[in-house]
Amino acid sequence: MAIPNKTELKSLVAKNKIEEVIKALLVVTEELGDKDLYNDVALQSSKWQGLKREQIAGTMSSADEALARNKITHALLSLIDQLPDSGQAEGPALHTPAPKAKPESSVQPDPIAQPLSPGRYLTISLVALLISVGLFFALTIFQDQLSVQSGNRAYYILLFPLAFSTAAFLFGAMRSYAAYTQTAVNQNLELGGPIVAALLVIVAGFQLVPQAGPFEYTIFLEATGTKDDPGFNGEYKAIVKMKLNNDVRTDEVDEHGAADFKNIPADFQQKEVPLELDFNGWQFADTHNKKRTVKLAEKSATLAIEPDGSLSKVFGTVRDDNNRFLADITITIGALTTQTDKLGRFSLDIPIEQQKREQKLRAYKEGYEIWEKSVYPEQNEEIPILLIKATK
């Protein structure tokens, strides 16, 4: 038979048709009469069959399998190079024995020639590492701005220069070797050392990022613009409402002005959420109403509150049973006193220390029965008073 073309055999090796290459080499080396070369091919055939058995049994890891396959592949390429060129005589008529195959080295050959010196790769690795450190400090400084848009994913930016640094150090400076082979749909994907190392760093980084769990957040209310105590432990309690999308949480403010919200989903970390204050006579100082937003950063926020003026005034008119306006009628709430004008109108300003949701309003004048009733200043409505003349 004609000696196979070396280029064709190497092409079969590149296509991972190892069995075809081994069979062809066994036939050729037997006809050449080169016993040593035949034995070297037979040795690689035995190793190949052993590798296939371990694959079937599942007793070999992917990394060990790729390493064994690479060793067999390099050995076969070396044996192909030892074959006579196609233009030489065929098997038995060949008087010059083929050169003996070099014994297979137990040291794995370097599969990729490095174009740069180890020192250059070490420099590249250090530069990439410094970039990672710089990014780390940048993320630390600007974490609040970045977290609003990307959450914990901003950390992943560090993985790419870190992966590059690892690959350059291991496979350029240290001359290490690694490979990964994956078979799918009758196709083999083989990745060399630097790519494998970089992918391991990136994939491990994605998997090892701690997943944030539910968290607690405390709202502290603090009075401003007045010396008066809001009286959180008074008759009317302060309630803070927090809206987490469709989930509305409420908590009663304790005597220290704190409202605690527990088990807030991790998705709301660093996000702005709406708040609403339900507290008799008080509102948020910065918005001057009972609604505002708060950013769920850190573990708590202190929010200023101020009197909202809703309990500061009572007003109305006084008439008699003939529907005539009555002047000079004395109007009182506790120790506060005023009188109606000629049109029977009155307005009573209540100082903050006396403000409350329910007030006892009294109206009286000599010759009329005393009028007394509970009124509610926050309703902000005119109070009609009807005085009836006293009977003798």
Mean pLDDT by 10 residues, the chain (392 residues): 70 84 86 84 86 82 81 86 62 43 46 62 80 79 58 65 71 55 55 59 64 85 74 80 93 91 89 91 89 90 88 92 93 94 94 83 93 90 92 74
242 touches 275 (CB < 8 A):
yes
Q: Is 332 helix (H, G, I), strand (E, B) or coil?
A: strand
pLDDT of the residue at 3: 56
Q: How many CB atoms lie within 10 A of CB 266?
A: 12
Please report the pLDDT score of residue 93 as a whole number: 37
* 236 sits in which H/E element: none
Q: Please state whether beta strands 345-349 and 313-320 pair in parallel, antiparallel, or not at all (unpaired).
A: antiparallel
pLDDT for position 174: 56
d(CA 350, CA 344) in angstroms, rounded, equals 20
Q: What is the pLDDT of residue 144?
A: 57
Which residues are CB-neighbours of 349 under 8 A, at least 6 positions away? 312, 313, 336
Gap between the Cα atoms of 158 and 135, Å rounded: 6
Q: What's the Rg (C-alpha) of the chain?
A: 45
pLDDT at 111: 45
pLDDT recorded at residue 297: 84
Give the CA-trace dihedral at 65, 71, 72, 76, to 10 degrees: 160
**CA 20/CA 18 separation, integer angstroms:** 6
Predicted pLDDT at 38: 87
